[in-house]
Chain A
Amino acid sequence: MTFGCRWAGMWAEADEARMRLYCVLDYAGDSLLLSAEAPLETTEFTSQTPHFPAADRMERHARDLFGVIFVDHPDPRRWTRHCAWPENWHPLHPAQAGDPPTPGRTPADVDYPFAAVHGNGVFEIPVGPVHAGIIEPGHFRFHAAGEPVLKLEERLGYVHKGIERLAVGRDPAGLARLAARVSGDSAVAHAWAACQAMERAAGIEAPPRALALRGLLAERERVANHLGDIGAICNDVGFAFAHVQTARLRERWQRRNRECFGHRLLMDTLVPGGVARDLPVGAAENLCADHAALRREVEPLFDIIDDHPPLDDRLVGTGVLSLENARALGCTGYLGKASGCGFDLRRDAPYAPYDALEVPLVTDSEGDTAARVRVRMAEVRASLDLMDQLLDAMPSGETTAPLPTPLPGAIGFGQVEGWRGETLAWVRFDNAGRIARYFPRDPSWFYWPALERLIMGEIVPDFPVCNKSVNGSYSGVDL
């Protein structure tokens, strides 16, 4: 938008005297980190939301957790806070070290002022937080007239479990463990971003072998999630065949994860300074054979998904996210790529091991659900190639480097391309080498507002498949 920059994130930080605000702007792969300060008594900052719509929820999140006041913010409603703690109590404000004045049982969040749409024949459909399927909790408020959706408003925050406050006082290993659980499907992405941030704060880099293994783990996470999503999207429009096939492939993939790396979802495989364990003997050959086998399996399967008219009937033209909207909201990952934003950190701001690899540009221009499936399929293929290259040129040597105690107040910024898109982590150490501040910025912060936009005008029955094709993380933004 402004200056051609992509707005990539914002978070607050406070010590006894001052409140500090950070904001990341990205321009063609270069990141600009801006900060502003105010004394704690007058923590007023000008809102960025009128200029960058993507800033909306992150500013409301900072307002709820820190008590920062954003002047000119268009939306005065609470966001992360429901009713579990009082309005004037801010869990991350330095004056509030203890527990909040507890309300006992948490009341239901019944008085949240949802926007209303008035008009002849307009009705409201409230959904959630408990959904019909096996998914995370959140609330959706549809306004519809007949079948077409006039407006969708999301209300998230149900799985807020205080991650940012839990991080305070942890040691680096403890933070890596917590980061792996910011969003269960992005265990590698968040752990890598957090480890990268801590390593930068300590002024070290993980050994080359560890970095190559991290790359391998991140690609494995990408493949597993894309396989699951491709099948789930097909399943949502009644094409169970694809769902069964991809679920089968994903299961085999996860079993190999457990065998080689000790965890089906790859949690706790990354530690500050490197990786938790080296590849077992003979694993590289098995993995290469897996890649070849998966290639053989997905080619005919992806061909069918690509060219199956009943599937096209439901996916083509459904839930279009325009390039303008994708840009305005700063969408990265498959959501941005399907709408024509080809940004990929591995390619545009490469970090080891990707700086030695050629990451193909995967984009599509349609911006619909079918395009999001196509981008995922292309990313599976690309990841298989990248993993082969990583195993081919796997450096020898150590898999961890000791993490020296960072200087008091040392800061670190981590940036990795997770399977969902650009994943950031911000870390500040205290005087004793422990964590004073951690903020993980999941790509889902931009995915959820995009869902609100791309569902407009679609019919209510198409919401599940649109939602599935976007697949924002609840836990990753509720924190």
Chain B
Amino acid sequence: MLRILAHILRTGIVTEPPPATDDATLEALGLELRRAIDARFGRSLALRFIDAGSCNGCELEVHALANPYYDLERFGVGFVASPRHADALLITGPVSRHMETALRRTWRAMPSPKFVIAAGQCACDGGEFGVSYASCGAVENVLPVDVKIPGCPPAPDDIIRGLLAALNLTAENPHIRVSRIG
């Protein structure tokens, strides 16, 4: 136990401030995000994640959101196991035809209001896989999409920016296309 505590002490805190283009706004942005989530989602934003056919690259970066550098949970954003507990659906991959029904059912299982975030190039426009006998392509071919986060895969800070966009905080961010806030 002592070894573990010593290791933790040695490591210190590595968590970074939330990403933004202007350093001076960092603190304010974090607070604003927190406030928006408090007001609109009852102090927490619950995401249900679903891989609709990705190569797993996007999942690795979504996982990275939990590492101590990003520590996504400090913003009040958490991943939940059931769509019934979710405010938003975070989807990666082109939608494989074999996942089409499972994706629709997951979305239908979510309570309203709900919104859909397509993360990664494949989810945004079909990416490397496009539309074929096996793939429906972009998520919007199957479900209404509110926010798109491009990148193959998007880096964790891109995903955080996308989540901020989902909360309508950085709508002018040129990297994020906000199609509709539900």
Interface residues of B in 92-137 (CB under 8 A from A): 93-94, 96-102, 105-106, 128-130, 132-135
A254 interfacial by beta-carbon distance below 8 Å: yes
Residues in chain A near residue B82, CB distance under 8 A? 132
- With A158-B96, A248-B11 already in contact, the answer to whether A228 and B132 are too (CB < 8 A) is no
Q: Is the interface of B mostly helix, strand, loop or mixed?
A: mixed
Give every chain A residue within 8 A of B134 (Cβ-Cβ).
Answer: 84, 91, 160-162, 165
A184 at the interface (CB under 8 A from B): yes
Is B133 a contact partner of A99 (Cβ separation < 8 A)?
A: yes
Does A36 sit within 8 A of B, measured CB to CB?
no
- Which chain B positions have C-beta within 8 A of A258? 155
The reply to whether A300 and B3 contact each other, CB–CB distance below 8 Å, is: yes
State whether A245 touches B99 (Cβ < 8 A): no
A 166-198 binary contact with B (CB < 8 Å = 1; else 0): 100000000001100111110100000000000
Contact of A134 among B53, B79, B94, B99 (CB under 8 A): B79
Interface residues on B, range: 35 or more
Residues of A within 8 A of B49 (CB): 133-134
Nearest B residue to A131 by beta-carbon distance?
B81
Cβ-defined contact, B102 with A161, below 8 A: no
Q: Mark A215-254, 1 if CB is under 8 A from B, else 0.
A: 0000000000000100000000000010011011011001
Q: Is the CB of A106 within 8 A of B98?
A: yes
| Chain A positions within 8 Å of B8 at CB level | 241
Total number of A residues with any Cβ neighbor in B under 8 Å: 58
Please choose the segment from B29-37, B38-46, B57-65, B171-179 that sits at the chain A interface, where 4 or more of its residues have CB less than 8 A away: B57-65
Are B56's CB and A473's CB within 8 A? Answer: yes
Number of residue pairs spanning A and B whose beta carbons lie under 8 angstroms apart: 164
Complex CA gap A102/B80 in Å reads 35
Instruction: Bits for A118-133, please: 1 = Cβ < 8 Å to B, else 0.
Output: 0000000000011011
Interface of A is mostly: loop
B9 within 8 A of A: no
**Contact pattern, B 4-26, Cβ under 8 Å of A = 1, otherwise 0:** 10011001001000000000000
Interface residues of B (CB under 8 A from A): 3-4, 7-8, 11, 14, 49-64, 66-69, 79, 81-83, 93-94, 96-102, 105-106, 128-130, 132-135, 152-153, 155
Sample of 7 further A-B pairs with CB below 8 A, known A184-B57, A265-B57: A84-B134, A99-B133, A161-B53, A161-B94, A241-B7, A247-B64, A248-B14
The residues of A with any CB-CB pair to B shorter than 8 Å are 82-85, 91, 99-100, 105-109, 129-130, 132-137, 157-163, 165-166, 177-178, 181-185, 187, 228, 241, 244-245, 247-248, 250-251, 254, 258, 264-265, 267, 300-301, 303-304, 473-475, 478
